Amino acid sequence: MISIRSHTRADRTAEFAVCFLGLTFAAATLAMCAPIAFSIATVFLFAGPHNWVEARYFLSRLPARFGKFKQFFVWSFGGLAALMVLYTTLTYLLHARLVVGVTGSIMQGIWNSMFVLWVVRLIVISGAWKQGRDWGLALPLGLVVAAFAWYSPSWFGMSLIYLHPLIGFWILDRELSRSRPEWRQAYHLCLLSIPFFLLTICWSLHDSASIPIANNLTLQITRHAGSSIITGASSYMLVAIHTFLEMIHYGVWLIAIPFVSAGWRNWQPNSIPITHRSLQWKKLVPGILAASSLSVVILWVCFALNYSVTRDVYFTLAMAHVLAEVPFLLKTLS
């Protein structure tokens, strides 16, 4: 006999799958029809809110006491801060053309290597939490990746841009395994639509004319999609692919993860475990959330005043949330 409970779960699973597929279809269609306009709209509307949701979600998953995880979090926060300072400095030097040519490539290679070694170190630390898990290949594989990063810093940076949305998919999978395990099979089937839509975009737009560079904003968007690196491909196709992945990434964080999170209905700051660590943390967390909310409003205002400059600054600072997703994912996998 089928219970009402199981019937309700089946309906919710179908609802989740239909919403996921509907979002991917809409994102792919809009990205193919109007890639530049869609890119401008998605970043303007969703860039700030998705960072706010990520910050709220990460805070909610921090333990009240670090305990055996203390070394991991020290490396996570310390590495993130150091890498961000170096990244913003390097980006400024490159944009101001204070470093060019070989010098710029060497500095990019150094940052890339530091990033890879930081990830390897976090993998090794997190691997020590479970007996029988061997992370012995982490260092040699990391050195191979670092060699690639030195050989072609530009291609390594472009790889981070295009692979970054996959981390969001992975974090969503871990959240499903924790709070909605009955949805995982449907989710894995839905993920098969991503390569299908990517192939459809490539097949439909591979011979399209490149986007005319009418202004600095168009140049920014096409370069961010890799047009200056992947020179043999149509910039129209590259922007469509990048915008599609960007929109799916925003959808994962703004819709899917809040929808499936077990404790997301409670938006009170005191629901976050780390607020129980001390009185200082209890006061600090609401301040962080309030500051994050204010930053979203400020970002919208800055976009309205000067979209091009704000977009450039935003994507530089947004590297912080890209870096933050790495230790968070490793923590959920351990």
Contacts with 195 (C-beta within 8 Å, 6 or more apart), sequence order: none
pLDDT exceeds cutoff 80 at 308: yes
pTM of the entire structure?
0.88
**Is residue 262 assigned to a domain?**
yes
Q: Are 115 and 148 in contact (CB under 8 A)?
A: no
Long-range (24+ apart) CB contacts under 8 A made by 93-102 are 95/312
The stretch 256-268 carries a mean pLDDT of: 69
From CA 220, how far away is CA 289, in angstroms rounded? 31
Mean pLDDT of the chain: 86
**Is residue 3 assigned to a domain?**
no
17-46 pLDDT tens trace: 898 999 999 999 999 999 999 999 999 999
**Is residue 2 assigned to a domain?**
no
**Is residue 5 assigned to a domain?**
no
From CA 127, how far away is CA 334, in angstroms rounded? 7
Q: Are 316 and 225 in contact (CB under 8 A)?
A: no
Could you write out the three-class secondary structure of the chain? CCCHHHHHHHHHHHHHHHHHHHHHHHHHHHHHHCHHHHHHHHHHHHHHHHHHHHHHHHHHHCCCCCHHHHHHHHHHHHHHHHHHHHHHHHHHHHHCCCCCHHHHHHHHHHHHHHHHHHHHHHHHHHHCCCCCCCCCCHHHHHHHHHHHHHHCHHHHHHHHHHHHHHHHHHHHHHHHHHHCHHHHHHHHHHHCHHHHHHHHHHHHHCCCCCCCCCCHHHHHHHHHCCCCCCCCCCHHHHHHHHHHHHHHHHHHHHHHHHHHCCCCCCCCHHHCHHHHCCHHHHHHHHHHHHHHHHHHHHHHHHHHHCHHHHHHHHHHHCHHHHHHHHHHHHHHHC
Share of the chain above pLDDT 90, in %: 40
**Is residue 1 assigned to a domain?**
no
Range of the domain at 300: 10-328
The stretch 222-246 carries a mean pLDDT of: 91
Burial of 206 (0-12, 13-18, 19+ CB in 10 A): exposed
- Both structure tokens of 315: 């994507």
- DSSP annotation of 68: G
From CA 59, how far away is CA 273, in angstroms rounded? 8
- DSSP annotation of 181: G
**Is residue 70 assigned to a domain?**
yes
**pLDDT-based confidence at 266, cuts 50/70/90?**
low
**pLDDT-based confidence at 6, cuts 50/70/90?**
very low
From CA 258, how far away is CA 131, in angstroms rounded? 32
Question: Residue 264: what are its φ and ψ, rounded to 5°?
Answer: -70, -20
44-72 pLDDT tens trace: 999 999 989 888 888 887 887 777 788 88
Per the structure, the count of domains in the chain is 1
pLDDT exceeds cutoff 70 at 241: yes
Give the pLDDT score at 1: 36
- What sign does the dihedral 260-261-262-268 (CA atoms) show? negative
**Is residue 122 assigned to a domain?**
yes
**Is residue 333 assigned to a domain?**
no
The stretch 285-303 carries a mean pLDDT of: 90
